[in-house]
Amino acid sequence: MTPPLGALGARLEERLRNRSATVGVVGLGYVGLPLAVGFARAGFSVVGVDADPTRATLLAAGTSPVEDVPTADLRPLVESGRLRVRSTPDALADADAIVICVPTPLGKSKEPDISFIVAAAEGVASVLRPGRLIVLESTTYPGTTDEVLLPRFSKGGLRAGEDIFLAFSPERIDPGNRTWGLARIPKVVGGVTPACRHLAQTLYGQIIEQVVPVSSTQVAEMVKLFENTFRSVNIALVNELAIVCRRLGMSVWEVIDAAATKPFGFMPFSPGPGIGGHCLPSDPHYLSWRTRLAGYEAKFIAFADEINGGMPDYVVELAAGALNEQTKSVKGSRILVLGVAYKAGVGDIRDSPALQIIESLLARGAHLDYCDPRVAQVAVGGQVLKSVAWDHADLAAYDLVLLLTAHAEFTPRRLVDEARLVLDTRNATGVLGEFRHVIRI
Ligand SMILES: NC(=O)c1ccc[n+]([C@@H]2O[C@H](COP(=O)([O-])OP(=O)(O)OC[C@H]3O[C@@H](n4cnc5c(N)ncnc54)[C@H](O)[C@@H]3O)[C@@H](O)[C@H]2O)c1
């Protein structure tokens, strides 16, 4: 049932339904850009604001820096004026609905750094007029929308649910995932009031197949943290299982595959060299920080962080052990690292465990090259390394080929046939069977 919306809310609802509304998107990164494109493709007039002028200029020229948004999709929207890109928030003055998708990193002590949210909110507040809907999508601790955004938007007497409408809706996009794109991933929405929630539901209902309403912004904020904590904890569990299986002389991959045949009550996760990206290493800390303020120490989060955070060192030890078996040391060995992105199919190296592993191998004296078709160069351990081309890489020339990211380009057949020694942390070569010169995590 539709809650009472008032005159302003009813007008906004109509504009959202007939798609004559202008949608503003603040922060045009992995999350904001696909969203802006989604709204523009659905017929909305969209204004995107990114505070990074270089990025804004690139986007305004119709060039996409985000893998999930091909330039071929972006350019016609920009050229037709359906998607305008700017670098300052005054461009949001005519936006009926504004979605905020800015980064939420950690501070030095792993505390939430919501300075980007605050800056974005200040920008929105400076142009806010009655009848507007604002939705925060950035992952953050429960309470942010009500405690940080609402006071800024209700300055001057604007009332939530009557004059302005405020909601939280976590983004669940999975960069590089071709099966689950924006429109197909159900969208959770919590509003400051029922009218706020209803309007946010209406907005997302235009581009997303299923919208899942929850009772408050805090619940919506918590849903996202729970989802990512769930992943972090389960990855930690399977990483520990990998360590245990090695000690007990069995393949963790065989154990997982067999366990996954259980048709209920089990969900397979994969071990790997550690977790990376903007979300998994950070989001659980938003929850533990908030929980600590409430006088409770969240134990699973700390445990998972310890195990996942130890995986890069574990991989370095496996590499050293594998070379040792060949009567070689890390020092002086030629090592080729395959993949520096934090996961397959993307070029994102934020918090990638590969950087820590490379730094450690370099510090131990390895002669190291890397290859990542999506990352042209990386700065690590005081050096700038440039990717070697996969097609021209002489795998046999290396003492060890260390696969960290299972990009599709790294064909297992070639790896197994050409490399002299392989450490495969992703089980990319598992499909081909067992080989004496291939070690798996
Ligand atoms: N990347 C993911 O897979 C993913 C998935 C789900 C949720 N999230 C969450 O979504 C949020 C955004 O993540 P992302 O990966 O898109 O980040 P990103 O770094 O790719 O993009 C954020 C963009 O916001 C811009 N920005 C920063 N401050 C701004 C401001 N005040 N005004 C305008 N623009 C500003 C930056 O220049 C950048 O281009 C984070 O909270 C993240 O945790 C990310």
- Give the per-residue pLDDT at 82: 98
Q: CB–CB of 59/78 below 8 Å?
A: yes
Q: Indicate which residue of 101, 196, 245, 279 is catalytic.
A: 279
Look up tokens 């919506």; give the residue: 220
pLDDT digits (tens, 9 = 90+) for 281-322: 999 999 999 999 999 999 999 999 999 999 999 999 999 999
pLDDT in tens, 235-269: 999 999 999 999 999 999 999 999 999 999 999 99
The ligand 1 atom at the shortest distance from the C-alpha of residue 66 is 20
252-259 and 217-248 helices, crossing angle to 10°: 130
389: left (phi over 0), alpha (psi -120 to 50) or beta: beta
- pLDDT value, residue 202: 98
Q: Which atom of ligand 1 is least distant from the CA of 119?
A: 31
Q: What is the mean pLDDT of residues 407-433?
A: 97
| Nearest alpha carbon, ligand 1 atom 10 | 138
Concatenating the DSSP letter of every residue in 9-50 gives: HHHHHHHHHTT-SEEEEE--STTHHHHHHHHHHTT-EEEEE-
Question: Rounded to the nearest whole angstrom, what is the distance from the C-alpha of residue 98 to the centroid of ligand 1?
Answer: 15
Residue of 28, 31, 127, 229 with the most ligand 1 atoms within 8 Å of its CB, for mutation: 31
Nearest CA to ligand 1 atom 15: 30
The per-residue pLDDT of the chain, averaged, comes to 97
pLDDT in tens, 388-409: 999 999 999 999 999 999 999 9
Instruction: Identify which of 226, 278, 343 to mutate to test ligand 1's pocket (most ligand atoms within 8 A of the CB).
Output: 278
* CA of residue 165 to ligand 1 center, whole Å: 22
Q: Which residues line ligand 1 (CB under 6 A)?
A: 26-32, 49-52, 55, 101-104, 116, 119-120, 123, 137-139, 171-173, 175, 278-279
Percent of the chain's residues with pLDDT above 70: 100
Q: What is the mean pLDDT of residues 180-197?
A: 97
pLDDT for the residue numbered 381: 86
Q: Provide the pLDDT for residue 176.
A: 84
- Give the closest residue (by CA) to ligand 1 atom 21: 29
Q: For residue 356, what are the CA distances in angstroms to 157, 214, 312, 329, 367?
A: 50, 39, 6, 19, 16
Instruction: Specify the residue for token string 């938007």.
Output: 153
| Mean pLDDT, rounded, for 171-185 | 91
Q: What pLDDT, on a 0 to 100 scale, did the predictor assign at position 6?
A: 94
Residues 420 and 398: beta-carbon distance below 8 Å: yes
Contact 238, 213 (CB under 8 A): no
∠ Cα 51 56 58 (to 5°): 150
For the cut 90, the answer to whether the pLDDT of residue 1 exceeds it is no
For position 67, what pLDDT does the model report?
86
pLDDT at 90 over 90: yes
8 A C-beta contact, residue 95 and residue 58:
no
Ligand 1: residue whose CA is nearest its atom 25: 27
pLDDT tens profile 27-44: 999 999 999 999 999 999
| Best residue among 279, 285, 348 to mutate for probing ligand 1, ranked by most atoms within 8 Å of CB | 279
- pLDDT at 112 > cutoff 90: yes
* Ligand 1 atom 29: residue of nearest CA: 51
CA of 30 to the centre of ligand 1 (A): 7
Q: Grade residue 423 by pLDDT with cuts at 50, 70 and 90.
A: very high
Q: Active site includes 279? A: yes
Tell which atom from ligand 1 comes closest to the C-alpha of 175: 3
Expressed in angstroms and rounded, the spacing between residue 139 Cα and the centre of ligand 1 is 9
List residues bridging with 26 in a β-sheet. Answer: 49, 100
Inform me whether the pLDDT recorded for 334 exceeds 90: yes
**432 CA distance to ligand 1 middle (Å):** 39
Q: Which atom of ligand 1 is nearest to the CA of 139?
A: 41
pLDDT grade, residue 91 (50/70/90)? very high
pLDDT of residue 211: 98
Q: What is the whole-number distance in angstroms between the Cα of residue 28 and the centre of ligand 1?
A: 7
Which of 33, 68, 101 is the pocket-test mutation for ligand 1 (most atoms within 8 Å of CB)?
101
CA of 90 to the centre of ligand 1 (A): 19
Residue 137 CA: which ligand 1 atom is closest? Answer: 10
pLDDT recorded at residue 223: 98
238 C-alpha to center of ligand 1: Å?
29
pLDDT of residue 156: 85
